[in-house]
Amino acid sequence: MQDEIKQQYVIMLLKEDHKLKKLFKKTLVIIGSVATFEVLRRNGVIDQVAGKIKQTIGEATDNRKMQAEGKFDQARGKAKKFFKEAKTATKESMEGLNDE
């Protein structure tokens, strides 16, 4: 009787472990997606894509305001990308000076 209870307990733990592993994998996917989104947002990609979508919808619906907002969002995304690249280049240049 006691061995049977132990077996059931082990089986229950294995099932819980499997559930925890699945939950952990799903959590990692969500975290990875959020991290990827954040990197894209910081690099201006999200603004550029959203702007292009707005502009296209504005053109399809003949909505000049939405077209303008889309163009503005695209420009903002390009500016973010430019400043991110400039910041990286400056940082790398400064590191090069410190090495010498």
Report the alpha-carbon distance of residue 13 to residue 49 in Å, rounded. 46
pLDDT at 100: 59
Q: Could you tell me if 57 and 79 lie in one domain?
A: yes
Q: Could you tell me if 33 and 54 lie in one domain?
A: no
Angle among Cα 32, 35, 39 to the nearest 5 degrees reads 135
Q: Which residues constitute the domain of residue 95?
A: 44-100
Q: Could you tell me if 37 and 48 lie in one domain?
A: no
Cβ-based neighbour number of residue 12 at 10 Å: 10
Tally the domains of the chain: 2
DSSP 27-85: HHHHHHHHHHHHHHHHTTHHHHHHHHHHHHHHHHHT-HHHHHHHHHHHHHHHHHHHHHH
pLDDT in tens, 17-74: 667 677 667 777 777 787 888 888 888 888 999 999 999 999 999 999 999 999 999 9
Q: What is this structure's pTM? A: 0.62
Q: Could you tell me if 52 and 31 lie in one domain?
A: no
Compute the chain's Rg from CA coordinates. Answer: 25
Residue 97's pLDDT band (boundaries 50, 70, 90)?
confident
Q: Could you tell me if 60 and 94 lie in one domain?
A: yes
